[in-house]
Structure 1
Amino acid sequence: MLDRYTSRWVQPPLKVLAYHARREEISADQLTVLGFVFGLMAMVAITLGHFELALVLLLINRFLDGLDGAVARQTQPSDAGGYLDICLDFLIYSGVIWAFALAEPANATAAATLIFAFVGTGSSFLAFAAVAARRSLVQPQAVHKSLYYLGGLTEGTETILFFVLLCLFPGAFVPLAYGFAVLCAMTTATRIVGGYLTLRQP
């Protein structure tokens, strides 16, 4: 929901940094993999209870996730790169929640509920994108994305803010997780209905 607004001030500096990355011959795929490594490190930090460190690592992960796309757009975006990016993103999203369950067993039920909700948002996102690509649908507000997708209450910006809250207030994981799971469920419902109605059109 907030991505369309945050991209207005995030994209310009990313374009500048992407230009310098290209001059150093750093590829988008290299940044994608590096970001994934930082995400894995954040998961380990969460599991060990080092939440401040995890927050820094997660922010680096999200920064690199934005930078890889900026580099790709200045070179030649590829289906392979977009595929790699989205796969690793979803692994980190669910992995962070799993790490909180490992850090504190009392978080397990809330974590399982949220991961279940993530499956809903992810599957509705990817299933629609696959069919939309086959039908050559175009979404003007998502021209900077590799995939055509349906928006919702819980997109990238909201998820980053949620992860920040989890790292700052790990003791509040359970209510935060259940609250975000509700928002994810609402996103899933609107995506399923919106996607179905869109694809019914000839």
Structure 2
Amino acid sequence: MLDTHCRKYIQPLIKSGASIAMKMGLSANDVTILAMILGVLSGVLTYFGMGMIGIALLWFSGYLDAVDGTIARETKSSSPFGTVMDITFDRIVEGAIIIGVAHKFPQFSFQSLLLAVSIIISMTIFLTTGPLAENKGEKSFHYQAGLAERSEGFIMLSLMILLGDKAGIIINIFTAIVLFTAYQRFLEARKILK
């Protein structure tokens, strides 16, 4: 929801980052890989109790995740494989945080597993609808907006890290939000793919 409605306000900042990265000779795929590495490192730092640094890296990873798409559009280098990398690496980052929290606070292992399954369900709908629906946006596939998009996910992941041994309620709320998003996407898919 935030990504869809607020992107226009932060796009100048993203465009500045893309300009800097391009001047450094980085391609969109280079930035995608860097974003994934920083995001995974965030999960590792969470596990080792360095949550604040982990959160900072998580958000910088998310920023770079937006920068890579801008680079691809600016340089007209968007590719199907770049899209696959982007979406796959996003899930790897989310998984790294969930695993980091689950290992650091084993009392939330089952709840973390339910969160991971809810993300799988929502992403399955998202990824099967994308290639089947007509694309009318600037992304390389049909983008299904929903209550839980990347920014909401980062907010919830950050709260999970911040609250530590009290993160269970956030994990449950995040799971409910992701499942609601899956429901939204399922209804939209039914409507546009009939």
Unaligned runs of 5+ in 2: none
Matched with 1:71 is 71
Structure 1 distance, partners of 2:130, 2:146, is 14
What displacement does 1:117 show? Answer: 0.6
Q: How does 1:30-109 map to 2 (within 5 A)?
A: 30-76=30-76, 77-109=78-110
The residue identity in structure 2 corresponding to 1:99 is: G
2:100 and 2:140 map into 1 onto residues whose CA distance is 28
Question: Partner of 2:116 in structure 1?
Answer: 115
Q: C-alpha distance in 2, partners of 1:39/1:84?
A: 14
- Tell me the SS of whatever aligns to 2:140: coil
Cα contact 1:153–1:186 (8 A) shared by 2: yes
Q: Which residue of 2 aligns with 1:154?
A: 148
Q: Is the 8 A contact 1:126 1:149 kept in 2?
A: no
Alignment partner of 1:138 is 2:138: no
Given that residues 6 and 157 in structure 1 are in contact (C-alpha distance below 8 angstroms), is that contact kept between their aligned partners in structure 2?
no
Secondary structure at 1:149 match in 2: coil
Whichever residue aligns with residue 101 of structure 1, its letter is A
Instruction: State the TM-score, normalized to the length of structure 2.
Output: 0.94
- Stretches of structure 1 lacking an aligned partner (at least 5 in a row): none
Q: Percent identity?
A: 25
How many residues align structurally?
193
The RMSD of aligned alpha carbons is 1.3
Distance in 2 (CA, whole Å) between partners of 1:108 and 1:114 is: 10
Distance 1:104 1:24 in 2: 40
Q: Distance in 2 between matches of 1:169 and 1:146?
A: 36
1:90 is displaced (CA, Å) by 1.1
Deviation at 1:130, TM superposition (A): 2.1
Moved more, 83-92 or 145-154: 145-154
Contact 2:3 2:149 (8 Å CA) reproduced: yes
Is the 1:120–1:188 Cα contact (8 Å) retained in structure 2?
yes
User: Contact between 1:113 and 1:181, CA under 8 Å: does it hold in 2?
Assistant: yes
Q: Quick check: 2:40–2:92 contact (8 Å CA) kept in 1?
A: no
Moved more, 15-24 or 3-12: 15-24
